[in-house]
A and B are shown apart, each in its own frame.
Chain A
Amino acid sequence: MAHHQNVGTSRYLFEDLKTLLARASPFRSGDALAGVAAKDAVERVAAQRALADVPLRAFLAEAVVPYESDDVTRLLLDGHDGRAFAPVGHMTVGEFRDWLLSDEADSARLSGLARGLTPEMVAAVSKLMRLQDLVLVAAKCEVVTRFRNTLGLRGHMSTRLQPNHPTDDLQGVAAAVLDGLFLGAGDAVIGINPVTESVERFVELTSLLDRVRRHLDIPTQACVLGHVTTALAAMKRGAPVDLVFQSIGGTEGTNRSFGVTLSMLAEAREAALALRRGTIGDHVMYFETGQGSALSADAHSGVDQQTLEARAYGVARTFSPLLVNTVVGFIGPEYLADGKQITRAGLEDHFCGKLLGLPMGCDVCYTVHADADQDDVDALLTLLGVAGCNYIMGVPGSDDVMLNYQSTSFHDALYVRKVLGKRPAPEFESWLERIGLVDAAGQLQQVELPAAFRPLLGSV
């Protein structure tokens, strides 16, 4: 359906919903590269005004990627919960923004609404929001998940300990794991990106992380972020897999470019569930996403990158993940050019994921060819802390020596917890205290290498 809007003496026409969403999207380089961005600021605000008048119901009637040709669209529309949608079913996008910001939209109501919202609805409303709106609404959402500990509780903020090594050297990985634990990191997951897709190395790394976890009796979970097919092969060989990882996107074609289908994800989830390794919960999936992946895969169908990112969360939701994170600045300046674009994208992604009921984390990061630096990381990290982000990455000294990009460090996580009064996952915090790394008030202690840690480096 076409949409019209007058601004001053100009009349703007947006031929369909996907064009309207794209033109209404705050500027970012990826939409310009795809040729879907508004041509100027006035066209953008005209699109935003037209979008504000679109009924939420319209997103159930008009798919931005055709239902017939895209299994993600079918998944999203076939799985829509009409009863959960009912409380907001009469609203326009603009009215929905007003309602979200109102005191009536409290944590319980937002949680009840999640399954009634489609990714396109939450993407649409995010385009009418400033950063403070994205923070305020997300901060009202609480999404709690469990495997060996409890993640996402209000007042808590967790970290993925990311001990990557340029050659997957086991001692090198172990050294980074110990360094992170020493600084209180790793309650969301100890998760390593392997250099190769070899099943043998996947099994070795998985076994290493499992040995460290069991030896120190850490209430957390481990993950080797290989391809889902590698994880499946490793599980068939008896590898101790806690969480299954996969990068996913918001269209069937994007997922194909990642070498993955919805049925493969379902198969991997079933295999991980069958291992029954979670002690207090059965959330066994870990997904990563990021704006721009669909354009990078030439599978964007003329839809803007932020709407497609929200659709990736719709995919994630189907598999009840323990963790989802948007790797917001990794993809490069052709998609998100600078600190300003990365900051907004990170907050949009966190907001959209939380509203859809997902345990959102964020890899606050950048590459050296983007116009961003450590100050931009600090700003987005702090904003996400205020917004109630479930977890962030912890990379030794911010410098990932395998993936060659800059993310948040163990120290950064301590900073944001300190200034915002956040705590690690409760079970993990008890462990830190038990082993003497923090005191009863949660303050890090100056300790020598605990005796229990010593044998690990020699035994890997």
Chain B
Amino acid sequence: MTLLKDSWAALRRYTPARVGLGRTGVSLPTIQHLALQESLALARDAVQAEFEPDAISAELRAFGFETLTCESAAADRATYLRRPDLGRRLSPSSRAALESRRGPPLDLALVVADGLSATASRRHAAALLGALRDLLPAANWRLGPVVLVRQGRVAVGDEVGALLGANAVAVLIGERPGLSAADSLGAYVTWAPAVGRRDAERNCISNIRAEGLSSADAARTLAALLQAARAHQRTGVLLSAALAAGTPGGVATLTSGR
């Protein structure tokens, strides 16, 4: 048997894609087959990872935040994955807990959710919010408690923001793991949060991770985005259009499709 080495392995210099893998017959060599299986295993485990609100809370309190732990209407991970509608709403008990916390209006509600990678929110959310706090002067930005939502989707922030009487909400949430990154965090900003907001009414910053956009850089981009949202009293495609001349780096509106 001859294992056919790909004489083109040099191609790997140009792309992170899995080029130049070689072949045995027409098939993947064992070493490449197992490398793919390992990447898949890491990503699949990241999807199933447990949210760790206590650990995130401890870090946030060290930065001076108050925190409140909630859950969405999706009772478990399997339900969460198949019922996005439930992940977008709070459970009845969490809704009651937030209603009881409502005080004077807030400038910004902050939400951390597990999304599709609890690993991402565990690793990056507290550091990002700590950096963000330094960039938003307390005199101008009245912040509420950081609400930690288990089995949450982006839109759960709409209900949280509305219940807390906030002008805007920022949701930090684990993005769907891929084979190259299983701990990528996304940050979504929605002006005038209310249940039923559409994705086109949000702006997002994605790929927040050590090898992508750092927490510190993400905090600067997020702060700029929040200032812009406040200045224009809007988010989403309308804000993007208003900022067309000078959109902050890395900010995008949500688009769907492959």
Chain A residues proximal to chain B, CB less than 8 Å: 29, 32-33, 163-166, 169, 171-176, 178-179, 182-183, 193, 247, 257-258, 288, 290, 296-297, 327, 330, 333-334, 337, 367-370, 373-374, 395-399, 401, 403-406, 409, 411, 414-415, 418, 444, 446-449, 457
Q: CA separation between A193 and B257, bound complex, in Å?
A: 11
Cβ contact of A33, chosen from B4, B85, B257, cutoff 8 A = B85
Are the C-beta atoms of B180 and A334 separated by less than 8 Å? no
Known: A327-B258, A334-B83, A415-B26. A169 touches B179 (CB 8 A): no
- Closest A residue to B177 using CB positions: A368
A363 to chain B, nearest CB (A): 8
CB contact list, B130-179 vs A, under 8 A? 176-179
Are the C-beta atoms of A174 and B14 separated by less than 8 Å? yes
- Closest A residue to B35 using CB positions: A397
Interface CB pairs A-B, < 8 A, 22: A33-B85, A169-B15, A172-B15, A175-B14, A193-B258, A247-B258, A258-B257, A297-B256, A368-B40, A368-B177, A370-B81, A373-B40, A395-B17, A396-B17, A396-B18, A399-B179, A401-B17, A401-B178, A406-B40, A409-B18, A411-B23, A414-B26
Are the C-beta atoms of B40 and A333 separated by less than 8 Å? no
Q: Which residues of A contact B12 (CB under 8 A)?
A: 175
Cβ contact of A179, chosen from B11, B84, B85, B179, cutoff 8 A = B11
Known: A33-B82, A369-B176. A398 touches B256 (CB 8 A): no
Sorted nearest first, the 6 A-B pairs with minimum C-beta distance are A397-B18, A404-B178, A414-B26, A172-B15, A175-B14, A179-B19
Are the C-beta atoms of A406 and B179 separated by less than 8 Å? yes
Are the C-beta atoms of A171 and B8 separated by less than 8 Å? no
Are the C-beta atoms of A411 and B26 separated by less than 8 Å? yes
Q: CA separation between A247 and B47, bound complex, in Å?
A: 28
CB contact list, B3-50 vs A, under 8 A? 4, 6-8, 11-21, 23, 25-28, 32, 36-37, 39-40, 43-44, 46-47
- Closest B residue to A165 using CB positions: B15
- Closest A residue to B77 using CB positions: A369
Q: Which residues of A contact B23 (CB under 8 A)?
A: 183, 411, 414, 444
Are the C-beta atoms of A178 and B8 separated by less than 8 Å? yes
Are the C-beta atoms of A397 and B176 separated by less than 8 Å? no
Q: CA separation between A305 and B109, bound complex, in Å?
A: 37
Q: Which residues of A contact B25 (CB under 8 A)?
A: 418
Are the C-beta atoms of A330 and B258 separated by less than 8 Å? yes
- Closest B residue to A363 using CB positions: B258
Q: Which residues of B contact A182 (CB under 8 A)?
A: 6, 8
Let me know if B116 is at the binding interface, CB within 8 A.
Answer: yes
Q: CA separation between A401 and B180, bound complex, in Å?
A: 7
Q: Which residues of A contact B46 (CB under 8 A)?
A: 368
- Closest B residue to A296 using CB positions: B256
In this complex, which of B16, B39, B176 has the most chain A Cβ atoms within 10 angstroms of its Cβ?
B16
Q: Which residues of B contact A29 (CB under 8 A)?
A: 82
Q: CA separation between A447 and B5, bound complex, in Å?
A: 10
CB contact list, B61-109 vs A, under 8 A? 81-85
Q: CA separation between A441 and B84, bound complex, in Å?
A: 51
Q: Which residues of A contact B44 (CB under 8 A)?
A: 368, 373
B258 to chain A, nearest CB (A): 6
Q: Which residues of A contact B28 (CB under 8 A)?
A: 397, 409, 411
Are the C-beta atoms of B19 and A397 separated by less than 8 Å? yes
Are the C-beta atoms of A398 and B18 separated by less than 8 Å? yes
Are the C-beta atoms of A374 and B36 separated by less than 8 Å? yes
Q: CA separation between A236 and B81, bound complex, in Å?
A: 43
Are the C-beta atoms of B20 and A403 separated by less than 8 Å? no
Cβ contact of B15, chosen from A176, A247, A334, A415, cutoff 8 A = A176
- Closest B residue to A453 using CB positions: B8
Q: CA separation between A390 and B211, bound complex, in Å?
A: 39
B180 to chain A, nearest CB (A): 6
A32 to chain B, nearest CB (A): 8
Known: A169-B14, A179-B20, A404-B176. A411 touches B27 (CB 8 A): yes
Q: Which residues of A contact B21 (CB under 8 A)?
A: 396-397, 411
Are the C-beta atoms of B180 and A368 separated by less than 8 Å? no
Q: Which residues of A contact B26 (CB under 8 A)?
A: 411, 414-415, 418, 444
In this complex, which of A297, A334, A415 has the most chain B Cβ atoms within 10 angstroms of its Cβ?
A334
Q: Which residues of B contact A418 (CB under 8 A)?
A: 25-26
A455 to chain B, nearest CB (A): 14
A368 to chain B, nearest CB (A): 4
Known: A397-B19, A411-B27, A415-B27. A368 touches B14 (CB 8 A): no
Are the C-beta atoms of A175 and B84 separated by less than 8 Å? no
B250 to chain A, nearest CB (A): 13
Q: CA separation between A405 and B176, bound complex, in Å?
A: 10
Are the C-beta atoms of A399 and B39 separated by less than 8 Å? yes
Q: Which residues of B contact A163 (CB under 8 A)?
A: 17
Q: CA separation between A418 and B44, bound complex, in Å?
A: 31
A315 to chain B, nearest CB (A): 16
Q: Which residues of A contact B256 (CB under 8 A)?
A: 257, 296-297
Are the C-beta atoms of A33 and B17 separated by less than 8 Å? no
Q: Which residues of A contact B6 (CB under 8 A)?
A: 182
Q: Which residues of A contact B82 (CB under 8 A)?
A: 29, 32-33, 333-334, 337
Q: CA separation between A404 and B39, bound complex, in Å?
A: 12
Are the C-beta atoms of B40 and A175 separated by less than 8 Å? no
Known: A446-B4, A448-B7. A369 touches B14 (CB 8 A): no
